Structures are given as C-alpha cells and as structure tokens.
Structure 1
Amino acid sequence: MADDGEITIEGAYTGSTKFRLYTVTFFGTPISVTVTSNPSAVSKWVRKTVFFHRRRREPMVVGTGVQWTAFHGSSSPAQTLHLCVGTRCLIFQLYRADRVPLSLRKFLYHTGNTFVGLWNGSDQRKLYESEHVVGIHDLLDLRKYAEADDGRSLRGASAEEIVREVLGYEGVRLEKEISLSDWGRRDLGRDQVMQACVDAYVSFRIGRDLRAWEL
C-alpha cells in the first residue's frame, strides 16, 4: 500500500452490529471510515456528509470507487461502493445489503455533486448491474485530466504515479492482490478497508485539486 508505514489502519469499538468504524491514517491525516451493509447507517453517513459540507462555497467532490470479486468473471456486478468527502469515507457493502436507501440514491444522482475516481471505466456499469440497480450521475476518470509538473499527460499512468505527480506522496500503491480478493465477504479484511479508503480518498484529493466540478 505504501512504504515505511505511512498508511495505517486502526479499528474502533462501536457497540453496534450495524456498522464498523476504522481510522485510516494517510501520511499523518486521519480518515474516518464507516463500513456497513445497513441502510440506516448509510443514510446517517449521507446526512452528516451533506450537513458538514453545507457552508463550503465550491460544489461537493466525491471520491468514488467500486469493487467486485474477480473470480466471478467479467460480468460480476459491483459488491462494494466506496465514497469519500473530506476525511470521511463510506464503504457500502452492496452485496450484503437488503436495499439501497433513497437518501443515497438521491445523493448519487445530485447534479451538484461531482463523482471522481481513477481507472473507473467499468464502475458505472457495475453499479447498474448490481442487484439494487444503482445509478450515479456521471463519474469522471481523473486520468483524463491529470498532468505532471512538466505538462505530460497522465492518462495512461498508474494510480501510484498519478498520486505522486499530483499530490506529492511516494509509494501509494493499489495492490492487485487486494483488488482481486473477495469483496462479497461479510467481514471485509483490514487490507481491503484500507485500500478502498485510500482509493476513494486520493480520488477526492485529486478531484478537488483539479477543480473537477469545472471539468
């Protein structure tokens, strides 16, 4: 994920069976991560996210990621949806959920929100093909807009290179082994939670820096 322990994860006791909380520390910045399949927990995350953003002048940028289990084949639908705004991330276990709350559907379709990610060409389709038929209002692939300091396009660059060139962090990798793991399991592993969080968080940061709402 990153060299020299610059990215770490710790669990927190919640006293609830509806969700789990983690703190992922990304180069000194703590990120709160909610992992859940519970619709009410998702709605609460959405409400708080909208509330905390209400006084900001710029439109909301939402780092977005999707995962599915590779061994189910190329037609596998989305099993998890990852969202990040600021230092608050949500990992919604779609595969384990009995429904998608209306608050999340409205959030994903809100034209004032800008959803961004990296190497996400299949994500919209995977979400729509899920059991819950999840739609999302546009989804930008930041590779198409990111540039190195010398003006070189990063369209074909890895996530690690894009993060290094745009944000200045070295060694931030999205491990293939984790990406290809089982994302439909009831209890996601800490390595999965950390990678999903980092993917969504760096997408948020890059999208904000690029003023993605203007792209």
Structure 2
Amino acid sequence: MTITIVDHGILFLLHDPYNLYDISFYGFRVRTVLTHSPTRASSWLSSRGSQPRLIGLDVQWRTDFGPDDNNPPVVLQLCVGTHCLIFQILHAPEIPQALADFLRNPRHVFVGVGIDQIVERLRCDYGLAVATAVDLRALAARELGREELRRAGLEELAREVLGRAIERLERVEGSQWENMLLSSVQVLHACLGALVPLQIGEALNAGGAQP
C-alpha cells in the first residue's frame, strides 16, 4: 500500500485527550495528532521551535451551510516536517495564543492550494492572521512554465510535481467534518491535505518564493 494509516487510539495526559496516528505516504511516515484541546495544540506548536519553517496548511469546511453562506473552517491542518496537527478548531473552547503566534510568524511560509480563501476565512471567522502564504497553483505554473496549473487541484499538482497519485475521496470530502469524532479515513484525508502541499512546496522551493 502506498498510503496507510495506523490508529494508536485516544491518549490522555492531565485530562488533555488527543488521538495519535502514524500515516505513511509513499514510504514517508508522518506522526499525526488529532485534538480539540488548546493545550495539546499549543504543546505541538511549541515543539516545532521558532526557526523558519515551510508548512503545509489546509482546512476542512462545515458542510451544513448553503453555497451562498460564508462557510467557516471547522478543522485546521498543519504539517511540518514529519509531524501533522489536525486541530478541531470548531470544538476548541478557545483559540490558543500559540496558534495565533505561529500563523503570524513572518519567518514561516505556509503553502496550500487555494490558500487565499483559507487565509481569508481564518481571519474573518477566528481572527487569525497568516503572515506569509504561497498558493501552490501559481507557484507551479511559474516554476514549471505551465499556465494551466493555475487552475489545478491538489491531485493534479501531486501528479505533475511529485509524480504521485492521491485518491480523490469525494465521500470523505463532503462528510460531516464538524463531528467531534472523526473516522480514520477522515483523519487520513485531512493529513494528506496538509502533507501533500508541504511536499509539493518543498519540491518547488516554496520557502524561497515570494507570495
């Protein structure tokens, strides 16, 4: 299998529950934390250090809104190196200051597909500012000299830049992300939503790109 997930179950530390997973993407293993706890999220962020980072960023949207509504993110995904955080921001009792500081750190570069919309919704719905964001579609179009990639999705970019296939899980993408309990398939989908942009960004040298 080129993409797998191992669920280590729910863990408790000082009444701070979180789920731990190991996700493998073409042999690249990512330790993944799923939580709605501000304390656990802050601990994950602080362990990443303050040095400049290239970071995969994605969100999952609330599904019970109509097409004309402002659709708020309910899950926030961050991937740094071999570690991924899936933060259930909708269920968090508060937004940790560590998250606000991490996102607005000008030394970090956040990469994603359609990242401008993500950044705008995080600002409007949660008051979170992202200092430096790079849209991988525009970067890939420029670096590869292929203007049609400005309209590409994550799957196409993964294929064209990484030479790797990721399945389009339409059923998962439209599932109830606002639920407190997420399935392993949802967790896998969420992790890949941040991990794959990170790997594409590394391949395109997004850390040195201008947004």
User: TM-score, with normalisation over the residues of structure 2?
Assistant: 0.88
Question: Displacement, 1:213?
Answer: 2.8
Q: CA deviation at 1:149?
A: 9.3
Residue 209 of structure 2 corresponds to residue 209 of structure 1: no
Q: Any conservation in 2 of the 1:18–1:36 contact (CA below 8 Å)?
A: yes
Q: Distance in 2 between matches of 1:150 and 1:75?
A: 34
Residue 66 of structure 1 and its aligned partner are, at CA, apart by 0.9
In the alignment, is the contact (CA less than 8 A) between 2:57 and 2:110 conserved in 1? yes
Deviation at 1:88? 0.2
In 2 relative to 1, CA 47–100 (structure 1 residues): closer, same or farther, beyond 3 Å? same
Give the alignment partner of residue 160 of structure 2, picking from 157, 162, 165: 165
Q: Distance in 2 between matches of 1:8 and 1:128?
A: 33
Match in the other structure for 2:6:
10
* Equivalent-residue separation in structure 1 for 2:132 and 2:55 (angstroms): 11
1:156 matches 2:156:
no
Superposed displacement of residue 75, structure 1: 1.2
Could you tell me how far apart the structure 2 residues matched to 1:147 and 1:135 are?
Answer: 26
Q: CA deviation at 1:150?
A: 6.8
2:60 and 2:95 map into 1 onto residues whose CA distance is: 17
Matching residue of 2:53: 60
Which sections of structure 2, spanning at least 5 residues, go unmatched? none
CA distance in 2, matches of 1:121, 1:174: 22
Aligned to 1:198: 192
TM-score by length of structure 1 reads 0.87
Moved more, 81-90 or 200-209: 200-209
Q: Provide Cα deviations, 1:140-183, integer angstroms capped at 9, x if missing partner.
A: 210001149974232122322211111111x2134232222111
| 1:105-144 CA-partner distances (Å, limit 9, x unpaired) | 10100000001101334211221233x3322223221000
Q: SS of the counterpart of 1:94? A: coil
> Structure 1 residues 107 and 70 mapped into 2: Cα distance closer, same or farther (>3 Å)?
same
Gaps of 5+ in 1: none
Match of 2:19? Answer: 20
Following superposition, which runs of at least 4 residues in structure 1 exceed 6 angstroms of deviation? none
Q: Which residue of 2 aligns with 1:110?
A: 105
Q: Which residue of 2 aligns with 1:126?
A: 121
- What amino acid is the match of 2:46? R
Instruction: Report SS of the residue matched to 1:136.
Output: coil
Contact 1:148 1:166 (C-alpha < 8 Å) held by counterparts: no
8 Å Cα contact 2:11/2:18 also seen in 1? no
User: How far apart are 1:24 and its partner, in Å?
Assistant: 0.8
User: What letter matches 1:177 in structure 2?
Assistant: R
d(CA) in 2 for partners of 1:135, 1:176: 29
In 2: Cα distance, 1:203 partner to 1:150 partner: 16
In structure 2, the partner of 1:43 is 42
Identity level (%):
33
3-state DSSP of counterpart to 1:129: helix
Give the conservation status (yes or no) of the 8 Å contact 1:159–1:173. Answer: no
